[in-house]
Structure 1
Amino acid sequence: MSARVGPTARTALVAVAAVTVLAALLTGCRGPAGAPAGDARSAPGRAAGHGAPFLAVGACSSFGTVSSTEVPCAGERAAARVVARHDGAVTGGPPCPPTTDFVLRISAQRPAHDPGDEDGEDGEDGDGAIPQGYACMRNLEPPHPGDPGAGGGPRTIPGDCLYDSGRGQVRETACDGSGRRAPRYRITEATTSRRACPASTVLYVQLAGDRPVGCARRAR
């Protein structure tokens, strides 16, 4: 996550970013802007036709080094819960809730046609197909990198901290100093325009949602 610094005010164009699966989730590192945390695939032999879409809101997933699968929330493999689910690509799609910990990209899947099943009731799209989409995930237990100031997650929100990464750019880091870089700025609030930011603002951060301007001041 990077930003440019303007000539009259430090202007951060901070884009959506995401942690990578497992390792980055635990360390608070972040991936390229707009990158999903990983892939989610339906488990082999997953029963279809039970009415619930794959990774619907409230469902749970496991963690995997390559891909995650849907698992029962009460099971020992459950690691995170779906807090929002959208069809389509992550880029340009609706933003995840502010405290989302990571994002799972759901690849489109279409099973082989079964001539013996013609009732149209055997899958997420009525034919067993799973459309392309993404799921916004929240860990069942800490850590929660998407929390304000935690230094991770796919959203930049009020309470998050930033540091200068060089060449007029900034990146997010943990506000408590536990990250690899010490915080230099902290986003205090989100507004609809720069004019609405308080006088103490030294950095403007581009956010997702209906309040796209983050007002940041020097971290203390």
Structure 2
Amino acid sequence: MFQQGSTRSTAVRRAGLVAALGLSLALVTACDGKGGASGASSSSKDRSGSWQAGDCGGPDPKQTPDGYRALGCDDPGATFKALEVTSAGILPGSVQCPAGTDLMIRVSVSYGSSKDGSKGGGIPTHTVCGRNLSGDHPGDAGAGGGQLVKGDCVSSSAQEVACATAGHDAFKVLDLVKEKEQCPAGTSEPMELTLSIGRPYDVICTAPV
């Protein structure tokens, strides 16, 4: 089944100050676009125990409100297609899905059950990087959801926001790098993040929107 994801809070050093960072890197927006890029959780069970890129899925009525199941892409209940299937990742934020990913769901092997018949825990095996079948794509650059990518916008506290509704204190993400010296020309606000093992970048290169 799809095991619950986790949302990580870290810190960002900007202009000598420490600000809260709320980037959801382990789990992103749900298929229907409801729920933000932080605070969502998902669980599900696939039909064969193995996902592949191109497979589709949708909400699982037996695991409401946030469960998903594998479905045929022509099934009326299908809401997303897997762009990529990758490892589960050991630490939050260590899994990076391709651009355009609207949701990330951790798949696990179930084991045990409670006396009332509810499912027990499981061992994470891999992550499904899904893109909505609808026209709603919060994971696209600038849309305000999904993983942080080049072209997104962030607030002064490094929280992702939709570029179309960004305030005066918002910044455009020019690149995501390990060292601020690697930031491209035009970067005026390199936001240095606290160390997080597994995250592929430690600096958000930004400039005012």
Q: Note whether the superposition's TM-score is higher than 0.5.
A: yes
**Of 129, 154, 163, which residue of structure 2 is paired with 1:175?**
163
Q: Which residue of 1 aligns with 2:152?
A: 160
Q: Which residue of 2 aligns with 1:6?
A: 14
- Whole-angstrom distance in 2 between the partners of 1:11 and 1:145: 25
Q: Which residue of 1 aligns with 2:138?
A: 145
- Whole-angstrom distance in 2 between the partners of 1:10 and 1:214: 14
Please, which runs of 5 or more residues in structure 1 have no aligned partner?
112-129
Q: Which residue of 2 aligns with 1:202?
A: 189
**Partner AA of 1:6 in structure 2:** R
What is the Cα deviation at residue 9 of structure 1? 7.7
C-alpha distance after superposition, 1:150-184 (max 9, x if no partner): 0001x1111111124xxxx331110001x7x6661
Q: Which residue of 2 aligns with 1:30?
A: 37
Report the structure, 1 or 2, having the larger strand content. Answer: 2
What is the Cα deviation at residue 133 of structure 1? 2.5
Which has the larger Rg?
1
Residues 186 and 217, structure 1, Cα contact 8 Å, conserved in 2: yes
What is the Cα deviation at residue 10 of structure 1? 8.1
Q: Tell me how large the CA RMSD over aligned residues is.
A: 3.5
Residues 88 and 134, structure 1, Cα contact 8 Å, conserved in 2: yes
- Whole-angstrom distance in 2 between the partners of 1:103 and 1:200: 29
Please, which runs of 5 or more residues in structure 2 have no aligned partner?
1-8, 113-122
- Whole-angstrom distance in 2 between the partners of 1:131 and 1:204: 32
- Whole-angstrom distance in 2 between the partners of 1:12 and 1:185: 16
- Whole-angstrom distance in 1 between the partners of 2:102 and 2:192: 20
Shifted more, 54-63 versus 200-209: the winner is 200-209
**TM-score (normalizing by structure 1):** 0.66
Confirm or deny that 1:61 pairs with 2:68: no
What is the Cα deviation at residue 90 of structure 1? 6.1
Distance 1:189 1:152, change over 3 A: same
- The share of aligned pairs that are identical, in percent, is 23
- Whole-angstrom distance in 2 between the partners of 1:14 and 1:195: 24
Q: Which residue of 2 aligns with 1:96?
A: 97
Residues 175 and 183, structure 1, Cα contact 8 Å, conserved in 2: no
